[in-house]
Amino acid sequence: MSIDELICYSDSLHCINLIKGLQVKYRIQAVLIQDIKDLISQINVSIYHTLREGNQCADFFAKLRVSSDVDFVTHTSPPEGVRNLLKND
């Protein structure tokens, strides 16, 4: 996708610590976590923790995707339900 820099915000501090921490052993997710570490080492990626309240727009779009049967959607303007959330951000 030719991404030069990526900034990722997550409301899961535990997941961020697993990704940023030392090698994870003896966990079911160890291979997945290592795959994520390998991917983010290839480009400039910053991972930050955000409070759940600061992640409402992402939650909105995740729920919108779950309720849709379309594989990919491009929005030319913010959907109606997310406008107030954007104002709060």
pLDDT digits (tens, 9 = 90+) for 8-50: 888 888 889 989 887 767 778 888 888 988 888 888 889 999 8
- The H or E element that residue 9 is part of is strand 5-10
CA distance 50 to 55: 7
CA distance 5 to 17: 20
Residue 62 burial class via C-beta count within 10 angstroms: exposed 0-12, middle 13-18, buried 19 and up: exposed
The answer on pLDDT for 89 being more than 80 is no
The answer on pLDDT for 55 being more than 80 is no
CA distance 67 to 4: 31
> What is the chain's length?
89
